[in-house]
Structure 1
């Protein structure tokens, strides 16, 4: 109860002191406000960019490792003709991995072909991506179904001519909204629409989206394309890792060992397949934005430093103006820690108000329309802004508060 009364009393003193010198208070707040705004604005922009870029790369899958012919990053010392001579992954290898892999939560095999034309009556859509999938595909990659359903196991096994189409494709081919149950044509073959994906919208980097994608059973896909021809689509085996597998290292090692055994590679022979991890892109993105975040700290620190000196200055002036009151409080029995807490609370209160104003400005910035980039002020950044403000107030106010607490009550009362 005593502590609560002390906090209330300190709040009253702080509020009255700030009201009495409103202009001086506002000018002192500017440094902290600008500093917190600069830091949190940069962090908000960085976090939003990182989030949007990672969402743009969602077509690669989350915590997914791919087994395919070509690596994503080429080594200069590796002869290009060795990549060409590598065999493609195939359905038999997928089934072998499905039986032996233990470090994956789900596996699938798929193949893609771009630049496809889809027709329905007199309507058509050019440049869409066609993907042949197995039943487990939606356990590895996100296939959000907005209307209808996903493939059944029987439809996949029998390679039936059924298709799940993207939101934009359904909207263009069937403007009346009657896509489900109707037929579309892919390379001259008729496919019955059983599902429509949810609208994903435009991505920041204009990466592939399910809005412009068609999914058919894996066997039906290779009715249209020769799987083993040199120029034909390349099957890709994908495995989803467990959350506990940081960096997907265990899954990668498991896949490499089993693929080498399946292809009969001797210990001295090099891999004739590539293992690509989506985590590599995520790590590159995170490391890049870490540098930007450091730049934000440097930029904002100068403003916060100026704001800290401003708060320290106003606290020294406040101690001088209220020396007589401090003497009276001490003569009436006020302890040193009460005087210390009173002025320290005032400094923290002043700095926190400045930080709060800076956060409000950042929040207002999130309403600016930046197209596909959505700015979001997270709870983490709000907590960081208020925490830094309180810390600056504590550092700036501790010396003036300590000087006030050490004043001799007799000398303080006699001061004018």
Structure 2
């Protein structure tokens, strides 16, 4: 109980000292405000930019392994693209083979993609992002449907001319109307709208958006475009299980089955690449980790300058209150009471500056930066408060220590 009372008394002394020198207090905390603003603004901007980029890559799916000709992981000047270019693309037969035998996957899908023009009466939408998919596609990739439904298994097997369209396509083809149940044409073939995607809005980068997406059954797609070698290459993808960290089991099983299906000899290298969707997201995360470190170092110099400002003010404060320190000690005040008194003052000064910096960062999140959404996370708020407290303790520990060790007789005379 006595400890809490002494802490409260120290805190009260510190607040009174800050209020009595308001101008000096404001000037002192400006350095910390600028420092915290600089470092937290950098982290917030980097985190927001990373989140926006990763959100724009959601079309790659999560825990997904794709069969491609070109690997994601290799780069550099010696990338043998000519060797990968000669590899055969995936086929529907390989998809069926994997779907039947693959045990380490939740689901397997095959899809084909192209850009095309769709028409309804006198209206048209150019460069619609058309995908032909199978029934299990919704188990591998997220398909957010706002209105209507996904294809039935019978519609997929019978290659029915049905479609799920994005908001932009619906508004262009059927302005002011409900698109569900309406018909439109792709290369002269009529399709009926059975579903409408959830509106996504503009992305940060020019990545595939559901707003301009168009989904049809895989069989219907093959009636419109040639799929295979020298044509549109299909993509086979498998969704991994949650109990397979790193998708090691899935990758190994897929490689073994594909080698068997393609008749590769044991000594022959793979003529396909298995690419994980997380590779690109991890690469993005690594890049932004480096940017965060660089930004933290730059912001650290700003907050260091603020720390020097607080230390300087605390030395001045100790000198001004030397007589008071002597009186307090002569009346029985312990060394730790004097230490806490000045330490609280430095920490409080730094925390006020840190809170001011966080408020400025929060206000900056309301500034419009186009498609980039700035979010001040709880992690960065806590980081700002911890840094403020730390810089206050570090800046005030030496002046507070000097004050606590003063001789009361000498202090009263000064």
TM-score, reference length from structure 1: 0.93
Contact 2:166 2:210 in 1 (8 A): yes
Gaps of 5+ in 2: none
| Matched position secondary structure for 1:28 | helix
| Matched position secondary structure for 1:276 | strand
- 1:302-327 deviation digits (Å, cap 9, x = unpaired): 22221111111111222222233333
Number of the residue aligned with 2:94: 93
Contact 1:29 1:350 in 2 (8 A): yes
Contact 2:109 2:237 in 1 (8 A): yes
Q: How many Å apart are 1:84 and its aligned residue? A: 4.3
Distance 1:2 1:119 in 2: 82
80-89 vs 286-295, greater mean Cα deviation:
80-89
Q: How many Å apart are 1:9 and its aligned residue? A: 2.0
Number of the residue aligned with 1:408: 407
| C-alpha spacing 1:74/1:112, structure 2 compared with 1 (3 Å) | farther
Distance 1:366 1:62 in 2: 29
Q: How many Å apart are 1:182 and its aligned residue? A: 1.2
Q: How many Å apart are 1:212 and its aligned residue? A: 0.7
Distance 1:260 1:154 in 2: 31
Alignment pair present for 1:55 and 2:39: no
Distance 2:194 2:218 in 1: 16
Residue correspondence of structure 1 range 132-151 to structure 2 within 5 A: 132-151=132-151
Distance 1:387 1:243 in 2: 35
Q: How many Å apart are 1:246 and its aligned residue? A: 5.0
Distance 1:19 1:37 in 2: 24
Residue correspondence of structure 1 range 9-408 to structure 2 within 5 A: 9-72=9-72, 82-114=83-115, 116-228=116-228, 230-242=229-241, 245=244, 247-408=246-407
Gaps of 5+ in 1: none
Distance 1:205 1:284 in 2: 17
Contact 1:247 1:279 in 2 (8 A): no
Q: How many Å apart are 1:148 and its aligned residue? A: 1.1
Q: How many Å apart are 1:247 and its aligned residue? A: 4.6
Contact 1:35 1:300 in 2 (8 A): yes
Cα root mean square deviation, aligned: 2.1
| C-alpha spacing 1:32/1:161, structure 2 compared with 1 (3 Å) | same
Q: How many Å apart are 1:78 and its aligned residue? A: 6.8
247-256 vs 188-197, greater mean Cα deviation:
247-256
- 1:178-222 deviation digits (Å, cap 9, x = unpaired): 111111111211111111001111111111111111001112211
Distance 1:313 1:78 in 2: 57
Distance 1:243 1:41 in 2: 36
Contact 1:348 1:394 in 2 (8 A): yes
- 1:64-104 deviation digits (Å, cap 9, x = unpaired): 22102344456765765543443221223223223333433
379-388 vs 300-309, greater mean Cα deviation:
300-309
239-248 vs 379-388, greater mean Cα deviation:
239-248
239-248 vs 150-159, greater mean Cα deviation:
239-248
Q: How many Å apart are 1:142 and its aligned residue? A: 1.8
Distance 1:370 1:356 in 2: 24
Q: How many Å apart are 1:375 and its aligned residue? A: 0.9
TM-score, reference length from structure 2: 0.93
Distance 1:338 1:106 in 2: 67
Contact 2:163 2:192 in 1 (8 A): yes
| Matched position secondary structure for 1:348 | helix
| Matched position secondary structure for 1:319 | helix
Contact 2:63 2:247 in 1 (8 A): yes
Distance 1:17 1:402 in 2: 17
Distance 2:3 2:241 in 1: 49
Distance 1:76 1:347 in 2: 55
Distance 2:260 2:398 in 1: 70
Q: How many Å apart are 1:274 and its aligned residue? A: 1.8
Q: How many Å apart are 1:393 and its aligned residue? A: 0.6
| C-alpha spacing 1:21/1:243, structure 2 compared with 1 (3 Å) | farther
| C-alpha spacing 1:415/1:240, structure 2 compared with 1 (3 Å) | farther
